[in-house]
Chains A and B, each alone.
Chain A
Amino acid sequence: MIEIPELAVGGLAAGTLSAFVLGGGLLRARRERAGHRAEIRSLRSELDASRGELDRAGAAFAAEIEHLARTRLPAEATRSAHPHVRVPGPLGPAGAGTDAVLDALREAVVAERKRVDAAARAGMRGTTREIQAALYRLQDVLRGLQQRYDDPELAQTLYALDHENEQSLRRAQVAAVVCGAWVGLAREESHLVDAVTGGQARLVGYHRVQVLHHLEPGTALVSHAVEPVAIIVAELLDNALRHSSPDTSVVVGLERAHHGVTVTVDDAGVGMAPDERERAQRMVAGRDPIMLSELGDPPRMGLAAIGQLTRQFDLSVDLSSPSPYGGVRAVLLIKNHLLCTVDPALRPHSAGAAPSTRQAAGHEPRPDRAQPDEEVRQHPAAPARQAAAPPPGVPSAGVPSAGAAPGVPSADGDLLPQRRRRVPVQGAQAGRSVPAPRIPARSPEESAAALGALQSATNAARQAAATEGNDPR
């Protein structure tokens, strides 16, 4: 039989126990909830902070991108053409990764510039080539007319046209060379002084150019170097004439050097500042590739053309030293492998080119300078070699047209003119040698006395020699 109080006590105890258990669980749950709430609060604040940070970073990055697009990329693009332009750095640490963009842009811009420049050069090359060919045809016509018609008025016009044509030709040719074309004309081996004078003739102020030719006659250029040298000299002279006063002259000296021949162009102009000089020297050295877009507007093609030619033909141009006249001194060195020799007697240089001073200097020590005939150096028709035959042969050698008195230049007053080439030269040489061979006539007594004297003298000398030889030692 179960007692009710026990049952009640048991139930109470169980209820209390469960109440305790439940209370403890409730307490724990409440505590946990409070912890969760605190955690959520901290996490939320953390999230807010990081979201704010993200917003700030996003704004900074956007500002950086805008800075890149508006300032840095244009500056970088400009810098590829003008190296002195400074590209601003990134605004903050957010732009650290944008340098790669600039590098890629730089490469792309350079490649594109090269492509555009090459296309422009190709177009210009084609055009100038055709213009040049047309001008050469025009030159042929003009020279043909000059040969055919000798009326002074017409000739004057033809000369003026020819000169204008030469100037146009020079411009077209230089533009073509700058654009990477060949010089456009094959010439045969020519005298260096002809190439220099030819270059001189292509300029407006060619009257002001003085050529001093100190090379031995016959110094010539191999065929492929003729036109480049003429172009280079023309451009150097053009610079010299352009930058000097119209009443000064420009002096061109042709000198022999150890490694070849130098052409020195001196002007008495304003000269160049050191940085200009440095830039010009860099251009004529021809090491950097030529960009049409860097030549300025209007394009200054002269130095660029010189650079192109010096690189192609192994020539060298030096602009580094100032001229003693106060202007610029340009020295073109033509090395020995571009030089050859032509016979000046068979192929004389042009009549308009300056004669060499070399042989005249060789003639200087001679006592008799009164005979102008000694200057045999530029006689086109008669070979100078024969004229300079060995002197011993001269008195006896039969000169067909010598006549009775070879040494006496005829008084050409009323006589008909005769062709007497080279006779005065031989006369001069005979006059310089011992005059003994030309003894007029002797009486028989004089001849006998002279021969007797010779015989007795010979005998006396032989006897003296014999006694000396017998002298015992």
Chain B
Amino acid sequence: MTGRRNGRPLVPAYLSTGGVARPSRNSLERLSVLTGTGGPPPAGLPAAQHALLALLDGGSLTLMECAALLRLPVSAVRVLAAALTDQGLVSARPPVPVAALPDRDLLERVADGLRALKL
């Protein structure tokens, strides 16, 4: 699902956030994982926040994936997610830092060892 599939988008990105591009919190990164907290959406929720909440309905997605699915720029989704987090409708988990990931060399050696065992 690419952004250009439908040609030139009719609705510009700034409309979804009301022209705001500065999120209310700076903790959200591109790979932050968003999860809906499952509460009922309040009545007067803006349309784009509603769409994001519905997208997270019953699952979790990273911020980038949300942006791709909603066909919005990451900056807009960040604003939406921050607003929803502030209202307690979405919980955000920071991405796994690079330092905490296992060493690539070690994993390759383990994989090599497993292949050697199998043969």
Chain A contact residues, CB within 8 Å of chain B:
136, 139-140, 143, 146-147, 149-153, 155-156, 158-160, 162-163, 166, 185, 187-188, 190, 194-195, 197-198, 200-201, 206-207, 211, 226, 230, 347-348, 350-355, 369-370, 372-373, 375, 377-381, 409, 412, 417-425
Name the residue in A197, A206, A351, A409 with the highest tally of chain B Cβ atoms < 10 Å from its Cβ: A351
Chain B contact residues, CB within 8 Å of chain A:
1, 3, 6-23, 30, 33, 35-41, 47-48, 50-55, 57-60, 69-76, 78, 91, 93
Q: Which residues of A contact B23 (CB under 8 A)?
A: 152
| Shortest CB distance B76–A (Å) | 8
| A417 CA to B34 CA, complexed, in Å | 9
| A207 CA to B32 CA, complexed, in Å | 29
| A207 CA to B14 CA, complexed, in Å | 11
| Shortest CB distance B57–A (Å) | 5
| A419 CA to B59 CA, complexed, in Å | 5
| Shortest CB distance B79–A (Å) | 8
- If A155-B73, A355-B51, A422-B58 touch, does A201 touch B6 (CB 8 Å cutoff)? no
| Shortest CB distance B29–A (Å) | 10
The answer to whether A350 and B10 have CB atoms under 8 Å apart is yes
A-B contact count (CB 8 A): 156
Name the residue in B10, B14, B16, B91 with the highest tally of chain A Cβ atoms < 10 Å from its Cβ: B10
- If A370-B40, A375-B54 touch, does A206 touch B15 (CB 8 Å cutoff)? yes
The answer to whether A351 and B75 have CB atoms under 8 Å apart is no
Q: Which residues of A contact B10 (CB under 8 A)?
A: 187, 190, 194-195, 197-198, 226, 230, 350
The answer to whether A201 and B75 have CB atoms under 8 Å apart is no
Q: Given A155-B21, A355-B50, list of 14 further CB < 8 A pairs? A: A146-B73, A153-B22, A158-B21, A162-B12, A166-B12, A195-B10, A350-B16, A350-B71, A351-B52, A351-B71, A372-B36, A409-B58, A417-B33, A422-B58
- If A351-B47, A351-B72 touch, does A146 touch B13 (CB 8 Å cutoff)? yes
